[in-house]
Amino acid sequence: MPGAKRSRTTNSGPRWALASQAERFRSARAAHADETAEDYAEAIADLIAREGSARVTALAACLGVSHVTVIRALARLSRGGLVVVMPYKGVALTRAGRALAARAKHRHGVVLAFLRALGVPARVAETDAEGLEHHVSPATLRAMERFVKR
């Protein structure tokens, strides 16, 4: 008979498969939790470098969200000790914030250069890099760097 009835606890595949698959999903969810902080830190550092200051409105335009969304995100990052908000003056990065921005910027650059080296068109590479970067582990990042340097 088809779908031969197996006792309720039996399951064909390898015993470790399910648990470690769950771990993979957990990792992806954890990456998403860090994503906002990374993107904000990088955007703030860029704005300060390019315009001398990072204003809430500029951040909103840059990230493609409303200023309200930025204000609330900054409040969270501030509680987390990554930024200092100076109303009507701009947002500054703390030491930890600058460190995060530097790591994010570096990784972003590597991922982008990697995609370009792979032969992905510039515009597409730029778009994909913005999402991919947050899921690139240190080991994969090293592999990408190796590849970029031929």
Could you list the residues that contact a second copy (CB under 8 A)? 3, 11-13, 18-28, 31-32, 39, 50-52, 58, 61-65, 115, 118-121, 124-132, 134-137, 139-140, 143-144, 146-147
Residue 67: which of 88, 98, 97 has the closest Cα? 88
Nearer to a second copy, 99 or 124 (CB): 124
135: three-class secondary structure by DSSP: helix
Per DSSP, the chain holds a count of helices (H) and strands (E) of 6, 2
Nearer to DNA, 62 or 120 (CB): 62
The residue from 72, 135, 142, 146 that contacts DNA (CB under 7 A) is: 72
Task: Name, in order, each residue with C-beta under 8 angstroms of 99's C-beta and a sequence gap of 6 or more.
Answer: none
Q: Does 18 bind DNA (CB under 7 A)?
A: no
Q: Does 128 bind Mn ion (CB under 5 A)?
A: no
Q: Match 């994503």 to its residue by tokens.
A: 35
Q: Does 39 bind Mn ion (CB under 5 A)?
A: yes
Which token pair is 75?
A: 């409040």
Distance, CA of 63 to CA of 65 (rounded, Å): 6
Nearer to DNA, 56 or 148 (CB): 56
Binding site for Mn ion (CB under 5 A): 39, 42, 108, 130
